Amino acid sequence: MIRTRSQEKILNLLKTLKEDISAQDIYIQLRNRNQSMGLATVYRSLEALKLEGMVQVRILANGEAVYNLTQKDEHYLTCLRCGTSIPIPQCPVHNLEQQLEKSHKFNIFYHTLEFFGLCSECQGLQANG
pLDDT in tens, the chain (129 residues): 789 999 999 999 999 998 889 999 999 999 999 998 999 999 999 999 999 989 999 888 788 999 999 876 778 898 998 988 888 888 888 889 899 999 999 988 878 888 899 999 999 887 776
Provide the pairing of β-strand 65-69 with 73-79. Answer: unpaired
Taking each helix axis from N to C terminus, what angle separates 23-32 and 5-16, rounded to the nearest 10 degrees? 90
Domain boundaries, given as residue ranges, for the chain:
1-70, 72-129
Query: Per CATH, is 72-129 categorized as 3.30.1490.190?
Result: yes
As its CATH architecture, domain 1-70 has Orthogonal Bundle (1.10)
Q: Is the distance from CB of 66 to CB of 20 less than 8 angstroms?
A: yes
Decide: pTM greater than 0.75: no
Instruction: Name residue 127's amino acid.
Output: A
